A and B are shown apart, each in its own frame.
Chain A
Amino acid sequence: MQAADLSFHRSFLKTMFMGLKLGVSSKKMSYQERKRVIKLSANIAMAVAGNGMNWSRALIIRHAKHEKNKVLLRSLLGRKRYESITEPGFPLNFTWQRMIMKRRFRRTNSILRRGAHASNGATARVIARSMAKKRTRTLKSLVPGGESLDDFSLLGETIDYVISLQTQVNLMRLLTEVLSVSNLRKKELDKASREVKC
């Protein structure tokens, strides 16, 4: 596995905290609504940290489609970025793929850079041999933006997306643990202060 990418972690936490701060108001919120905001913050945080990848943009666009997400999204991305990403007609195809592959070198294999050129006939045959059509269909539905990708790009995107998901899970686990400890400590403090009063 690749070495931990600290800038990804930092970016994720920054956006996540922003989302929690802006989106969660525990007084008025229902459990489900709070959960929805937490999950949205986590996904946007992951997408922002994964900036440059096709899945990152596709994920943001997916969430931007829902009316109730728009306010938080605009705050988390900043208006300029929000508008440029959600602008229709932005190329979400091979040309874009080639552009971002060049920038994402540090997190993906170097052969992806070369690979992001036109798939010729020989390449298609090689790929078809290795990747079953049925399986890639499922994978395409699981990786955000996967539908529009050729098999080779899909592989690279999947690798990056899986690494990002793993980091998202790890950081959310960390957050859960820290809050559990602080909750527990708070309960003990409350209990102790009540006992003193008796």
Chain B
Amino acid sequence: MSSRRSRITEDEINELISKLQSLLPEARRRSAGRASAAKLLKETCNYIKSLHREVDDLSDRLSGLMATMDTNSAEAEIVRSLLQS
């Protein structure tokens, strides 16, 4: 049952799609191309996966860095205050 006036137009979807495209880093944006939404979705999936991997990698590095750190130490306080603003 379609209503007379479509609430979501193709323009609006295209707007969302171009916004999504603008989030992709330069290299991926080029391979996604202009026209194909399907290609854009594929690049988005790849990008999300790479972000997940990066979080895992950073967690790994942080684990190493925190190996000798006493989180109650002054060091932690300095870091904390540095990043609080």
Contact = CB atoms under 8 A, between A and B. Distances in A.
Nearest to B69: A26
Contacts of A183: 65, 68-69
Nearest to B51: A165
Residue of A35, A42, A121, A156 ringed by the most chain B CB atoms within 10 A? A35
Interface residues of A, number: 64
Interface in B1-56: 1-3, 6-10, 12-17, 19-20, 22-23, 37-38, 41-42, 44-45, 47-49, 51-52, 54-56
A143 to B, nearest CB: 7
B interface, size bucket: 35 or more
Contacts of B14: 130
B45 A139 contact: yes
A35 B59 contact: yes
Given A26-B69, A34-B63, A179-B69, A13 B51 contact: no
A155 interface: yes
Interface of B: 1-3, 6-10, 12-17, 19-20, 22-23, 37-38, 41-42, 44-45, 47-49, 51-52, 54-56, 58-72, 75-76, 78-80, 82-84
Interface of A: 1, 10, 13, 17, 20-21, 24-26, 31-32, 34-35, 38-39, 42-43, 109, 111-112, 114-115, 117-123, 126-127, 129-132, 135-136, 138-139, 142-143, 152, 155-156, 158-159, 161-163, 165-166, 168-169, 172-176, 178-180, 182-183, 186
Given A26-B67, A120-B3, A163-B23, 9 more contacts: A26-B68, A126-B10, A130-B10, A136-B41, A142-B48, A161-B48, A165-B52, A165-B55, A179-B79
